[in-house]
Each structure stands twice: as structure tokens, then as C-alpha cells.
Amino acid sequence: MNELEAFDKVWNGHFHKTKFWGGDRLSRKGREHKERFENILFSIWKHHPDWEDARGFQLKCNFDSPSYRTLYRVRKLAEDAGLLVKVGNYYAGDHTNYYKKNLPLFDLVFRNEENKYGKWLEDSKSDVELDLVYKLLLEDFGRLNKENKYNLYDHTPANDTGKPKKRTRKPKGQNYDLEKLHSLTGRMFSHYYDLMARLNDAAKHHEMKLVSFIYLTPKGLPSGRPYSAFCSTLNPKKKHRDTSGEYRADFLSRIGLPDYHEVYDIKSEIPRVNYLFHTGEWTDDDYDFYAGILKHADLFYKPDVWDTSVSRGGGRFDDYNDSMKQLFMRIYFGKGTDLQSYNGYIQEREKRNERHNTLYDKGELDDSDLIDIMYRNKETLDLSVWKKICNSTREVCGKSIGPLVFWFSFFIETEVKIELLNRGKTVYNVYDGFYFNQDISSEISDILAEKAKYVYDTYMKPIRL
């Protein structure tokens, strides 16, 4: 008996009313049952790409839910029929196995002249009920959001179809295809929700779990940046206006991880990821984007020295005395013209100076508190210098993709942590900073370059204009 014959006996035979008597007739209920199982199988196929060659993807089934129990039955039948090949076991509260897809057999059966899978893909775009995995994920997001009172997934109203409304006009300044982004969300959301859940299952303390998720706003625009309690801690290496929070080392000691420390930091992550979106290139750690922007604008105070970081204002020039990261963020996320962003920045800077002067006059600050550059920017930053930095930012990093950059940053960071988890290392991050109890900076750097390319090919390239 060949593979196709074995599949026919197990998969198709399951739905035959007369199979126990050697018959091959399908009743009406049998046909409906078979169609439902195939819809669920197609949903599994759509949402579980082969994220790792050796171990395949994981499929979790919660037996408390009738839908999940049905998902388990489909998975079991597909495994018995040879469509899914189990390659490992994993347990994290719900029954979970790792699978590889038997793509040749799947193509032979479902990509025949009728192309059932292709038709299902088209139908599922307008009928969310067909896509069971997507539907279950939405229900999970809603349940977790209700239980934890966190914005895990700010989706559309309950009476909606579960998909963002199409926009007839591109938002001003948009430089990626929003409609193509919408078409990718089902795959992205399910994939990274699964990875996030797996990281949370492996967390050594509940305060290390990510408690938010990416989402689309009511206008259909990307937003959200997952975070944990760890992300709210204070870094003792930096000055803070508010010292009421818990310092990072104290937090780690309190939850039983005193030997964890920052072993790697993605330098200037936002411009680096934005540049990746436009070029497909992940730049080496030794390249400082903030210095590059200033050098391109002829504002870098040491044009021949590239080993000096300017991310916190270290690269001052006569016409420029502010945190480069602060200027970059205002320019990158600013709306309107360069003049409008400049006026907004100057107004904010004046408010900062007023707050600083008030605190200083009250004796609540002394000279040692003036280390943080953001408190003491009274020098002139005129419009001509601002425009130079704006133009240089766009030319060096590419046009801003706005809050979407946080999605891609999260994707890359998650892929890196999952790969490290696969290697037996439970690593945590505060956005672009990775924490572990051993120096694995070179390992992270290598994985980062690989995963950045994966994220670019899979999610960035398809939506570039």
C-alpha cells in the first residue's frame, strides 16, 4: 500500500458511513463532516509555518474547549493519515506536540485539479468562521484581555467580521501597503502570539511574562508593543526624573534571578529596523546610526571617529546640543512638515526647561542632576540645523514607517529569544536589551542577523511600496 492509498484509507475512510461493511459511500452528514475537517486542516496549514526545520511547529489543544477538542481530533486524524508527522513532544499546561508537514502528500491530495486549498484560502478571506485557528486565537486574546485587564488585542467590535475595514485612501505619508499588511495580520498575529505564549510558558517568574500584544487601531493602523513588568523597571545606568520605580537589579534579585544582567543591546534599534525595512540589510553593531545622521548632515563633531556613541547626546556640536536619540524620535514619529515638528520640539523643550528651573529653584536638583542632557538644553537649535537633521535622517535611515517599526522590532526580538530557548537558554529582554546569566553577546549577534533577514523576507518585503 503506497502513501496515497494509506491516506485514502485513513482520512477519507473516516467519513464513510459504510466503511465497516467495506463500502465507500459518503452520506450527506459524512460529506459535511469531511468538509469541516478539511477546513480545519487548511486553517492549521495556513497558520503554522515551519518555524524550525528540525522541530517543525507546535500545535496546542485545550481540552476544556469543544473547538479545541475538535482541533485535536483533526490533528490526530491528519497524523494517522500521514499529513502531519510528529517530531517531538512538549507540555505546558495544554497538550502540545511538534509537527512537520508532509507537503508532498498534501500537495498531491489538496492541490489537485480542483485545488481545494487554494479555494479555501480565497473563501476564508471573507468568511472568518472557516478559519478556526484564527477564530480560536481571537477568542484567546479576548479571554486573556478580560482576565488580565491588559490590552492584549484591540480588535474590531464583536458584531464586526473580525477584519479591519478597507481604507479607500492611503493615510498621509504612508510608505507601505496598508492593505497588504492587513492581509498578513492573520498569519503574523497567530505566529507571534504562539511564540509569545511559548516564551511565557518558559518564564521563570510570572512578572517576566509579556502581558500585551500588537494590534490594529479602529482606523486599521498598526499599534502596540508587548511589554512585561520587567520593562517598567529603572536602569541604574541612566538618570531618571521619577525614581519611585524599582531598579532593574533589585527587581531581578526579588524574583530570584540575581545573576541575570544585560548581555546584549541592539544599538539604535528604531533607525536600524527602519533601515532594514527599506534595504533588506541588517547593519553591523559597529555602525552608529545617530553618528551617521550627524555626519551626513555635516554636524558630527568628530567626523573621522566612529567609535564614539552619540545616542545620549555625546556628539555635541556648536549648533547642536541635545540628545540625538531624543531629536531622532521627534523627527521619526513627528507628523506634518519639518517646520511643524521643529515648533513642536521647541515647545516641548521649553516646558522641560521650565520644569528643570522650578525643581532647581526649590533645591530639589543640584549640579549632579544635570548629567541627563534632556534637562539642560538652552542652547539655540535653529530651524536650519533641524532641517539638516530631518533630511539626513530620511536619507540615512529611509522614510519613517511609524509605529509599525515596533511590530517588526518585536518580531525580531521574539525570534531571537525563541531560537535561544530552543538552545536551552531562557533569555529576557527590555525591548532592545537582552538579559541572561552568561555572556552570549556574540551568539545573540549572529542569531539577530539571521532573524532580521527572516522578518524582512517574510513580513517587510511583501508590503513595501
Residue 260 is predicted with a pLDDT of 97
The 10s digit of each residue's pLDDT in 66-118 is 787 888 889 889 999 999 988 776 544 455 677 888 889 999 888 876 788 88
Q: 45-54, 80-89, 152-161, 285-294 — which is least confidently predicted?
A: 152-161
- In percent, the amount of the chain with pLDDT more than 90 equals 30
pLDDT band at 307 (very low <50, low <70, confident <90, very high): very low
Q: Give the residue, 88 or 309, on which the prediction is more confident.
A: 88
Q: How far apart are alpha carbons 9 and 421 in whole angstroms?
A: 39
* Average of per-residue pLDDT values in the chain: 79
Q: Give the residue, 173 or 251, on which the prediction is more confident.
A: 251
Residue 319 is predicted with a pLDDT of 41
- In percent, the amount of the chain with pLDDT more than 70 equals 74
The 10s digit of each residue's pLDDT in 226-235 is 888 898 888 8
Cell of 228: 512585561
Over residues 440-449, mean pLDDT? 96
- CA neighbor of 44 nearest in space, from 126, 175, 135, 125: 135
Residue 62 is predicted with a pLDDT of 66
Residue 30 is predicted with a pLDDT of 80
From residue 201, alpha-carbon distances to 94, 123, 126, 292, 431 in Å are 11, 34, 33, 40, 19
The 10s digit of each residue's pLDDT in 416-430 is 999 999 999 999 999
pTM above 0.85, yes or no: no
pLDDT band at 375 (very low <50, low <70, confident <90, very high): very low
Check pLDDT > 80 for residue 388.
yes
The 10s digit of each residue's pLDDT in 321-346 is 567 787 888 899 988 889 998 888 88
Residue 249 is predicted with a pLDDT of 92
